[in-house]
Structure 1
């Protein structure tokens, strides 16, 4: 009997700590609207260092560039608006590529610019970090 009472007591205590009034979700989870700070018709530009890479997303097309391919390679991507940002998924050079753009001040570490978006890229097994800006939300600092 003792073994049953203790776990039930723990469950009740945990439920009391995590429950929210009126069935509300904790924190900012009540926001059920997709991210809308970057409109579907905006051009999003991406930049990263070590290694150097760049990208430009227009609609459902990503143009990915590197120092070895300055003109870049265009691929189709699928856009997903989550609660806290955007993601784009596609295939580049036979590997999956996923790009996540979230609102956060970002520095490329090499200029005096401050970008409005932090960018994380998963390209195959390689993870890259960088910054981004859009037509309506440009970077600040020197050109």
Structure 2
């Protein structure tokens, strides 16, 4: 067992994990943060996207020990109290979710995308950067609309970290 310490959603957490424990499993099983979904365990679907030190990461391909000392943000940590994060609100407003399984990973990917591109984000870039996120309900059209709406609404308010 290895001790890990990290800041998750603004709160310092500690735990003992087996060296092979994936970050997604540490978040879900040790911390009870089940908003980060396990879809494929092979980095193909994007359901497990979180932010580590401000960058989008697929948590099914990162070990918990690799995140020790890092700042981790999950879908549970991007909203401000009872207010939805602007990207979450855009997904709701533009019907960018269907079954909801891919939604946390899509939103975390979108927040990272908007932080990097701001209002310069365009449809081609959104579609290209969503390549690693699978929506099995084929809701891509509305997902893209939601991301572009959020990027154009108030880019300065998007930053989650």
- Tell me the TM-score normalized by structure 1: 0.23
> RCO (CA 8 Å, sep 6+): is it higher in 1 or 2?
2
| Structure with a larger share of its residues in helix | 2
- Tell me the TM-score normalized by structure 2: 0.21
Larger C-alpha radius of gyration, 1 or 2? Answer: 1
